[in-house]
Amino acid sequence: MERPPPPFDKRLQYGQNPLHFAELRLPDGRGPFPFLFVIHGGFWQSAYDLSHIGHLCAALTRKGTITCNVEYRRLGNPGGGWPGTFQDVSLATGHILKTISSDPRVDAARTAVLGHSAGGHLALWLSFTPTQCSEVPSRQCSFACGRVRPSESLSAAAGKRRRCKAHWRNTRPISRKISSRQSYRTPPHWNKTSPSPRNGRQHSPRLSVRKFRQES
């Protein structure tokens, strides 16, 4: 994560906030190329920005995919959390796709969104239309959603239960913050921030990929 990312081709602004921007990388050639929104992870926290996933974006662009690396407000940024974080990714995908869809290099019919870690949660969230969610504007576009989440600490293997419990204790405070839950006695925005099919209408296919580190 300390290595500087490869250069991008164009910076796109999708709103008024300084964090409302995205980095566009274009493959060589005339196209049209598939278009991929990439949402970075980092535990939803402001300490981690879009830089670290720039390497993945560059690799996918070399394979013939336009990548759009989206920045957004996170916990620790003014307005981050609910609903700001979710407003940002919703606004970014809708505004940017509308802006660049007329570019002949863009195959808008092959648009997808990929997220890593916390960005995976947001990518899956984008694949649903939440019910009773007036805080976030309605999304008019559909995606093929993917989630890459390398995390051995979430393994349900019997030998790793202690590690899972420790991981859950460490993540609960952040999970409460991203859903604006102050305590276990107050109702959170779980239904609005969860990508569960129970909370909305799924309008895109989705794929979840997990990688667990092998131990000798």
pLDDT at 11: 97
pLDDT tens figures, 147-162: 333 333 222 333 334 4
Q: Residues in the chain with pLDDT < 70?
A: 1, 129-191, 195-216
Give me the residues paired with residue 35 across strands.
Answer: 66, 111
The rounded distance, in Å, linking the Cα atoms of 2 and 5 is 9
Q: Which domain holds residue 74?
A: 10-211
Give the side-chain half-sphere CA count within 13 A for 151. Answer: 20
| Residue 189 domain flag | yes
Q: Does residue 1 sit within a domain?
A: no
**What does the pLDDT read at residue 19?**
97
Does residue 20 belong to any structural domain of this protein?
A: yes
Amino acid of residue 186: T
- Supply the pTM of this predicted model: 0.77
In a domain, 2, yes or no: no
Q: What CATH number is given to the structural domain containing 52?
A: 3.40.50.1820
The number of distinct structural domains making up the chain is 1
Share of the chain above pLDDT 70, in %: 59
Domain assignment present for 110: yes
Report if residue 5 sits inside a domain: no
Residue 216 lies in a domain: no
| Residue 135 Cα distances to 87, 109, 130, 138, angstroms | 8, 28, 10, 9
Tens of pLDDT, residue by residue over 173-214, are 566 666 654 444 444 565 677 766 545 555 555 666 655 554
